[in-house]
């Protein structure tokens, strides 16, 4: 005999408002980082970037690290420049602006 099947059983966590907001932040940061021509991706990873897929993966990892560090700072608006330079080893005003905007929205 088979076990009863629960209708609409979830196999993944529910999408929460916080998760959707974080996804938007990551999308904005990926866009900014991908467009930042001065960003030395070769210096921000394990070696030279070999192709577009690796570049996209590195941009994604950097965006996630920015969000993680801002979360660690309690999303304090004033922490954005410090977080950006600690992760990217350079000032990227557009990334700082994204993080500040999100921090303001979390008050």
pLDDT digits (tens, 9 = 90+) for 53-84: 888 888 999 999 999 999 999 999 999 999 99
**CA distance to 23, 30, 88, 99, 106, per residue, from 95 (Å):** 15, 9, 10, 6, 17
> pLDDT value at position 1?
55
Return the structure tokens found at 32: 């900014």
Q: Which residues of 18-50 are buried (b: 16+ CB within 10 A; e: fewer)?
A: eeeeeeebbebbbebbeebeebebeebeeeebe
Check pLDDT > 70 for residue 18: no
> Higher-confidence residue: 105 or 44?
105
Rounded to whole angstroms, how far apart are CA atoms 61 and 91? 18
Domain regions of the chain by residue span? 18-33+47-105
């Amino acid at each position: 005999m088979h076990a009863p099947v629960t209708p609409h059983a979830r196999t993944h966590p529910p999408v929460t408002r916080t998760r959707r907001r974080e996804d938007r932040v990551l999308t904005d940061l990926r866009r900014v980082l991908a467009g930042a021509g001065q960003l030395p991706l070769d210096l921000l990873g394990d070696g030279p970037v070999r192709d577009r897929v690796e570049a996209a993966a590195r941009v994604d990892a950097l965006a996630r690290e920015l969000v993680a560090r801002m979360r660690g700072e309690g999303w304090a608006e004033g922490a954005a420049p410090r977080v950006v330079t600690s992760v990217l080893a350079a000032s990227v005003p557009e990334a700082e602006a994204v993080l500040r905007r999100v921090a303001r929205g979390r008050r």
